[in-house]
Amino acid sequence: LWEYAFKRILEVSSLSLYDIALINATWTNFTDEYFQCKKYESQVMRRSDAKELINRARLAKSCGVLKDEVKVEIGHIGYHSCLCHENFQHPSFGYIMNLYQNFEKGFLPFTGGIMDQPAAVMELIDLISSLYAERDLAQQQKELKKSSKTKGK
């Protein structure tokens, strides 16, 4: 199963910039509420000004529209649309997250030790691991800010 899921990625000896860009975008899409546009739209759907709100949000974020200018930048890579765009969803993202979670539990996708795993697999794990670390750091900083604010009162 693993070998099937990663066949496309393993065709290259290491991760392509394309894969990294797509994984970053898909991750951000999942972890940042700002890009969960469908969710937002269903939340405001019942409001009388729903149409206006949704249109305004879509216009501001360039949902579903590829623009000439960069709309979002992650790790020096520019994206020309809101990250909710279907072009920015990595087709193997679910498998990659599975791979990472299994690795965390001590299961390697291929027989042997860490040194026996294909380079791309370890790069994927490193990438997801750094994304988690970044997210945790951002959360900690947010909480720190919050607690220092309440202390100041």
Could you tell me the smallest distance in angstroms from the CB atom of residue 70 to Zn ion?
A: 15
Determine the residue type at 29.
Answer: N
Could you tell me the smallest distance in angstroms from the CB atom of residue 75 to Zn ion?
A: 20
Could you tell me the smallest distance in angstroms from the CB atom of residue 48 to Zn ion?
A: 22
Binding site for Zn ion (CB under 5 A): 37, 61, 63, 82, 84
Residue 61 or 90 with smaller CB distance to Zn ion: 61
Assign 3-class secondary structure to 119-143: HHHHHHHHHHHHHHHHHHHHHHHHH
CA distances from 81 to 14, 61, 90, 150 (A): 27, 7, 15, 37
Residue 83 or 124 with smaller CB distance to Zn ion: 83
Residue 55 or 101 with smaller CB distance to Zn ion: 55
CB-based contact 41:54 (threshold 8 Å): yes
